[in-house]
Structure 1
């Protein structure tokens, strides 16, 4: 079983659909804690580190849970650091995406819908670049009004704003959508620049952890 820690209930059907398409038979257990993102946006991710650890403990407490996937990019760094205290592997959902972006090329355009996501995402790209021994030059941009649309349940409206921002990127080797909530923008883009999002590779990495032999 794989537990998932989300900061929006709107992520649940996204990951259920990815499981059905790519990982049939994998049991998912969802936990949703929107207050973690709300506080992290106001006070910074470090301010909620203890509460993130507690949420991960709760997510991992169910019998049969073999790994926890944190799907929120804003709290992903503090979640990953808490792995040693949780008792099961904790997968940072955006790390596989960051590794893939670094492999494409050095010029990375990062799009986000909330400002709080940018520092951990940029730090993650730097970390993956160091691991790969590759240069990275990331530029970040917050898409105005997109998060307001998402919070209101207007997923398509959010996606279209993100898609328009992606289509305006011309001087990058790859575009990174910093949050899982931005994934559906791919349906509306016309850009020729490769665009990466975190849910599919993040779930794949977590599924491998959940299915890995114990010991």
Structure 2
């Protein structure tokens, strides 16, 4: 199965390669500028949405499936790609409650909240303090440590399920000690491979 991934951070390519199942090949396209402009604008704008959709349409012409891995740009995917956070929302909705959804960048909050609500999940959302600053500074270990600390705090508070809303957060799961959070790369790839008629080679 040929899967094209549109990322807005370089490190997400490695995250999805680590989660890649047998029989799937991944093509990675990174457009960090789209997230940078969205952050500067305070969120997704019509112009960014249109540019993202054009990119997704081009990728769809050359792949069996397309993944949009950026939560901020997520609403651009409609009809063109699978939002990885949509797969995560679906998995979270069927997981045990109570549920906590963690996110690291402010522009992700609104689209993530709307998406999880559509999937019927009863959840609380929480920003991981200072995590995105660490990521932007190139401190990936520090970023994942902050996310893992927040996830463990959630489990300690009694949340049965903790979901990591952004794909870039997935590396924190291995650092957690009180439970295993749900991550969007694993959820999205599993969702693709479970579709009827999915190519296996």
TM bucket, shorter chain: 0.7 to 0.9
CA RMSD of aligned residues (A): 2.1
Q: CA separation in 1, counterparts of 2:87 and 2:151?
A: 20
Q: Is the 2:103–2:128 Cα contact (8 Å) retained in structure 1?
A: yes
Residue 203 of structure 1 and its aligned partner are, at CA, apart by: 1.7
Q: Is the 2:15–2:170 Cα contact (8 Å) retained in structure 1?
A: no
How does the TM-score come out when normalised to structure 1?
A: 0.81
Q: Is the 1:68–1:206 Cα contact (8 Å) retained in structure 2?
A: no
**Deviations 1:19-61 (Å, cap 9, x if unpaired)?**
2xx2x23221111111111122232224321011011123234
Residue 10 of structure 1 and its aligned partner are, at CA, apart by: 0.6
Give the SS at the match of 2:99: strand
Q: CA separation in 2, counterparts of 1:9 and 1:162?
A: 19
Q: CA separation in 2, counterparts of 1:98 and 1:91?
A: 12
* Aligned pair partner of 1:143 in 110, 121, 128: 128
Q: Is the 1:41–1:116 Cα contact (8 Å) retained in structure 2?
A: yes
Structure 1 stretch displaced more, 115-124 or 167-176: 167-176
Match of 2:76 in 1: 78
Q: Is the 2:15–2:171 Cα contact (8 Å) retained in structure 1?
A: no
Match of 1:179 in 2: 166
Unaligned runs of 5+ in 2: none
- For the structure 1 residues 210 and 10, does the alpha-carbon distance in structure 2 shift closer, same or farther, using more than 3 Å as the test? farther
Match of 1:32 in 2: 30
Residue 209 of structure 1 and its aligned partner are, at CA, apart by: 5.4
* Aligned pair partner of 1:152 in 127, 132, 137: 137
Count of residues in Structure 1 that have an aligned counterpart in Structure 2: 194
How does the TM-score come out when normalised to structure 2?
A: 0.86
